[in-house]
Amino acid sequence: MAEDERELVASSNANERSSSLLRRLSKDHKLSVASLVVILLFALAAVFAPVLTPYDYDAISLSDRLAPPSFEHLLGTDEGGRDVLTRLLYGSRVSLMVGIVPTMLSMVVGTLVGMTSGFFGGKVDTVVMRVADIVMSFPSMLLAMVVMYTLGGGTANVFLTMVCVGWAGVARVVRAETLRLKQNEYIEAARIVGVRRLRIMLRHILPNCLPTIVVLFTLEIPSSILTESSLSFLGMGVQPPSASWGLMVSTGREFLYHAPWLCFVPCVAIMIIVLAFNYLGDGLRDVLDPHLRGR
Amino acid sequence: MIHNTLEVSNLNTSFFTEQGEVKVLRDVSIVVGEGQVVGIVGESGCGKSMLARSIMGLVRKPGKITSGSILLDGKELTTLSKKELCAIRGKEMSMVFQEPMTSLNPTMRIGKQVQEVIAIHDDLGKQEARLRALEILSTVGIPEVEARYNAYPHELSGGMRQRVMIAMAMVLHPRLLIADEPTTALDATVETQIIDLLKRLTNVGTSVLIISHNLGVIAQVADFLYVLYAGRVVEWADVYELFDNPLHPYTQGLLDAVSSLRSQSKSLKTIRGTVPNLAEPYEGCSFTPRCDKCALWCATKAPELAIVSPNHEVSCHMVERDDDL
Amino acid sequence: MSGTVARGLLRRLLYALIAIVGVAALVFALLRVVPGNPVATLLGEQADNETVERISSSLGLDQPVLTQFANYMLGVLRGDFGESFMLGKPVAELIGPAFVNTLWLALAASLFSWVVGIACGLIAATHKSTIIDRLFMGFSLLGVSLPVFMVAMLLQYVFARYLHWLPVTGVSDWTGYILPAVALGWGLAGSIARLVRSSVIEVMQQDYIDTAIAKGRTNVQVLVFHALRNAMLPIITLMAMQFSSLLSGAFITETIFSINGIGRLSVQAIAGRDIPLLQGTTLLCTFVIVMGNLVADLLYSVCDPRVRKGA
């Protein structure tokens, strides 16, 4: 397209820029807004789980085992007679927590490292990036498993592992953004005037990195959720009797032919939440930061 | 009767955006005679590039030619099928773009890119095609052609890249070559060389339509000049006539701005205001907000192009009034 | 190859080596941090301390960690990866065939994902903003969002219960690779499709596309001769990285389909606390990933002439 054409179409759509984020999102990306709603619903369900169901997630009742979906048990019962819906709701706590918290921590660590490294440059930058490269070349699932083996199972350890492996990718992206922003003349102007470097980083670079970070965050969450479910599936994540969707899939696998709902219900739940975050992330990226397109 | 290579009549091109229809070309009529060099001037955003792209059929969605006729050697282009248009492009009419760095495929060697034009339209063997490509590259002034033939675009300087573009456009001896801001991205020293090169094209029978916002550049090569403003032709004339006797206030403003650079005056003359937003329809003469010579009725009715003298037409109410008196 | 390029290559190889050794060391250290003596765990409660100590020292577990590591790496250079605790066989013998199985699976899954991914991406890009585009992109998103175990089990369920066309476990012949390849490749195809679409769309906006049209190329020709060679650059990198990631173990797929590959071996090693085996698989996997990244980088340099001449 010629420059003129681009400018033309852009300027006639420029009025859009002033509206709020939500409005912009809802205009072209209705699916993203729907996804946001879905995520909020899941979050609410997770928080209000005890209120929403009369059962305990670990209430074993052998007489009721493997009952198909019915009025009493909307999604049936599992091999211990526990209500599947209840376990699903409690499991959503784990999945959402594991999806969001370690990712957030990775974001924080990665941003700190990436921004500092990119801003100051020099030897520190080179060394840090080499380390990040090495971390990124880990077979991450494998390493996660090894760490889990070493530290034992359990939610906290899953968190730790995921942060240890996840920060590197974030650091790379943030560093690239920092380098790009650093070239802007207003940064140089600020330096010349004598603004302290920390202030420049916080006031000028960080706010401009935020859109990228937010989009990255939303897109990394589904990956974290999948990693956790995979780990739990293999028995190396959250341990019974806690409920985790991955764990439910794994235990349900034994009864694939007699009680397929045990396996597929949590699968579908995972699918929905991952899809929702992906749609949301896509929409946010389109609206906020075209630089990440193609990730 | 001079045979005309290009005849554009009442061309209208619009973009259909979310804000509505944006008319980028309104009733534009241009004539390029055989062997002539015709220049189109105007500020950025006046529709010059759109004109070039409309003629070549390069207007992309959401843009579209809404009405008008484009005759190339008497053949109507607006009604051609895609296939027929493809057969003409590159062979009978070709285009040189503004940014040579981004207009050349970065992953293809330049020699091959020139050869490609031949391969698309002619049935020459590979060897022959290569020879022809080498020949044209040498003609446009690329030194050490054999060595440079296998270079990639990023290995050449801006001036050389533009020469490659010209070579691609010239290799099949088109009837019409459209040059869209050919020197805007180049240094001043290279600029003159490229302009000279373009001027020499007429020696081989090619007519040139050159588009630029730089009056100085165009004046050196053009036989005729069209002045575009807000999608309309506001004045056109033989180049000497235009410089001697500019009638439209906009043209006068443009010429004043150029000459004030050279004169001893302390301040640069500018045309106040900015180019209008083409999305907003305007009943009267588009130049009114910036015009020092307008009257009340200029804002209500758009003027028509009127003949002032042979090879000189203007579209301005005030000029017409002078004539009436 | 010019001097700069050769130096760049050497530098990258060096970093790759450091990465591999680094990860190996990390894993080595981690495994020895575990409380409790693995030998004791293996032998069970009946074993007395003497026996445990005897076996431990024969395995070299009582020496300082650095010495152990050095010995281990030296052994690796000779091709000796130690002996598996669980199975008593040399680790090298175990990971060899397992790697071959994983290699076949990786190839099959990659082929599937490349063909499907590129096709979907191209179709979506050429029909941008139409229903077809949304459909294909919706599918791609689904591919990226579905957990591998879900697709794998779904396929297993359907083919075991209803359509008895394909084997659902093991790889006795080549047909055994089909379902696992689809399960694995499905998600990868989604990523590729999305990237192909955005890359092609971006390339089609470039100025040289206009030049190509001005030369008289038809839309299809423009796509094939000009757009694709530029659009494929980032995609090739992605494909290379995906392949190496596949090679380093599709743990879940192999577990579900009972394929004896590196992934499954690793999982078993962890479950059985088999340190030498785990070290062996981790080392191999790291090697593959690091080499894969290196190849991806190199491929990019080779394909993009702008990058080729510099480092």
All residues of chain B having their beta carbon less than 8 Å from the beta carbon of residue A15 are 19
Whether residue C199 and residue A294 make contact (CB cut-off 8 A), yes or no, is yes
Interface test with A, best of C17, C153, C158 (most A CBs within 10 A): C153
Using CA of residue C116, residue C122, residue C126, residue C130, what is the dihedral sign?
positive
Instruction: Tell me which residue in B102, B108, B120 faces C206 most closely, judged by beta carbons.
Output: B102
pLDDT score of C45: 62
Contact (CB<8Å) A138/C286:
yes
A183 touches B: beta carbon within 8 Å: no
Q: Can you tell me which residue has the tokens 């005309």?
A: B4
CB contact under 8 A, B60 and A5: yes
* 8 A C-beta contact, residue B301 and residue B283: yes
Give contacts of A147 with chain C, Cβ < 8 Å.
Answer: 30
Strand arrangement, sheet containing B75-76: B20-33, B4-17, B63-72, B75-76
Beta carbons of C284 and C99 less than 8 angstroms apart: yes
User: Which of C249, C238, C229 minimizes the C-alpha distance to C305?
Assistant: C229
C208 → closest Cβ in B103, B120, B121: B103
The pLDDT of A116-129, averaged and rounded, is 84
Query: Considering all CA atoms of chain A, what is the largest pairwise distance in Å, rounded to the nearest integer?
Result: 77
Whether residue A229 and residue C149 make contact (CB cut-off 8 A), yes or no, is yes
Cross-chain residue pair C19–A257, CB shorter than 8 Å: no
For chain A, positions 1-30, list CB contacts with chain B under 8 A: 1-5, 7-9, 11-13, 15
Q: Of B210, B220, B148, whose CA–CA distance to B184 is shortest?
A: B210
Q: What is the structure's pLDDT at A295?
A: 37
Residue B165: the pLDDT is 92
The length of chain B in residues reads 325
Smallest Cβ–Cβ distance between B63 and the set A5, A11, A15 belongs to A5
Helices (H), C1-147: 3-33, 38-43, 49-58, 65-78, 91-126, 131-145
Tokens of B308: 């002032």
Cα-trace Rg, chain C: 24
**C141: which chain A residues are within 8 Å (Cβ-Cβ)?**
275, 278-279, 282
Q: Is B296 helix (H, G, I), strand (E, B) or coil?
A: helix
SS3 assignment, position A243: coil
CA dihedral over C113, C116, C119, C122, signed as positive or negative = negative
Note the pLDDT of residue C44: 62
* Digit-coded pLDDT (tens) for B51-107: 999 999 888 878 888 889 999 988 888 888 888 899 999 889 999 998 888 899 988
Strand-pairing partners, residue B178, are B95, B209
**Candidates B91, B97, B108; nearest CB to C216:** B91
Mean of the per-residue pLDDT values for chain C? 80
Q: State the pLDDT confidence band at C118, using cuts at 50, 70 and 90.
A: very high
Task: Report whether the peptide linkage leading into residue B62 is cis, meaning its omega lies within 30 degrees of zero.
Answer: yes
pLDDT above 60: residue C105: yes
Q: What would the pLDDT profile of C5-15 be if each residue is shown by its tens digit?
A: 778 778 888 88
Q: Which two tokens stand for residue C71?
A: 């010995």
- Cβ distance B17 to A8 less than 8 Å, yes or no, reads yes
Q: Label residue A49 by pLDDT band (50, 70, 90).
A: confident
Distances from the Cα of B130 to the Cα of B92, B119, B125, B134, B137, angstroms: 20, 10, 9, 6, 11
Q: Which residue of A lies nearest to B58 if distances are taken between CA atoms?
A: A1
Does the pLDDT at position A222 exceed 70? yes
Mean pLDDT for the stretch of residues A117-145: 79
Domains of chain B, earliest start first: 4-92+175-194+203-280 (3.40.50.300), 104-173 (no CATH)
Chains that touch B (3 or more CB pairs under 8 A): A, C
Q: Are B106 and B152 in contact (CB under 8 A)?
A: yes
Cβ A3–B49 below 8 Å, yes or no? yes
Q: In which band, very low, low, confident or very high, does the pLDDT at A22 lie, cut at 50, 70 and 90? A: low
Neighbouring chains to A with at least 3 Cβ pairs closer than 8 Å = B, C
Residues 36..65 of B with a Cβ closer than 8 Å to C: which?
Answer: 56, 58
Helix (H) or strand (E) holding B7: strand B4-17
User: C301 contacts in B (CB within 8 Å)?
Assistant: none
Kindly report the nearest CA distance between residue A208 and chain C, in angstroms: 23
Q: How near does any CA of chain A get to the CA of C23, in Å?
A: 7
pTM of the model: 0.80
Residues C168-177 have a mean pLDDT of 74
pLDDT in tens, B235-247: 888 988 888 888 8
Cα–Cα distance for residue pair A128/C180, rounded to 1 Å: 38
The whole-angstrom distance between A228's CA and the closest CA on chain C is 11
Query: For an interface test with C, which of B107, B117, B156, B177 has the most C Cβ atoms less than 10 Å from its Cβ?
Result: B107
A261 touches chain C (CB under 8 A): no
What is the pLDDT averaged over residues C271-296?
81
Quote the DSSP letter at residue A68: P
Facing C248 at nearest CB: one of A130, A142, A293: A142
pLDDT recorded at residue C209: 92
Tell me what pLDDT residue C112 has.
93
Tokens of A172: 């790379």
Least confident among A88-97, A143-152, B130-139: A143-152
CB contact under 8 A, A13 and B18: yes
For residue range B150-197, list pLDDT tens digits in order.
999 988 988 889 999 999 998 998 999 999 988 887 888 888 888 888
The Cα B225–Cα B233 span in angstroms is: 10
Q: How many CB atoms lie within 10 A of CB B148?
A: 19
Q: Is B22 on the interface with A (CB under 8 A)?
A: yes
Contact between C265 and C277 under an 8 Å Cβ cutoff? The reply is yes
Angle between helices C91-126 and C178-204 (to 10 degrees): 40
Strand B232-238 with B312-314, pairing:
antiparallel
Residue B64, classed as helix, strand or coil, is: strand
CA distance C309 to chain A (A): 22
Chain C contacts of B104, Cβ < 8 Å? 208, 211
pLDDT value at residue A14: 47
Write the CB contacts of C137 (distance below 8 Å, at least 6 apart in sequence). Answer: C124, C193, C194, C197
Tokens 């965050």, residue? Answer: A217
DSSP C177: G
Sheet holding B224-229: strands in order across? Answer: B93-96, B176-180, B207-212, B37-41, B224-229, B232-238, B312-314, B306-309
pLDDT score recorded for residue A3? 53
Rounded distance between C-alpha atoms, residue A55 and residue A50, angstroms: 8
CB atoms < 10 A from the CB of B73, how many? 16
- How far apart CA A167 and CA A105 sit, in angstroms, is 8
Residue type, A229: S
pLDDT at A294: 40
Question: Nearest Cβ partner of C230 from B97, B106, B169?
Answer: B106
Q: Are C179 and C156 in contact (CB under 8 A)?
A: yes
Q: What is the mean pLDDT of residues C127-144?
A: 86
| ipTM of this complex prediction, to 2 decimal places | 0.84
pLDDT in tens, B27-53: 899 999 888 899 999 887 777 888 999
C288 backbone φψ class: left, alpha, beta (φ>0; ψ -120 to 50): alpha
Yes or no: say if A122 and A136 are a contact pair by the CB < 8 Å rule. no
Please identify among residues 164-203 of chain B the ones whose CB lies closer than 8 Å to any CB of chain A: 180
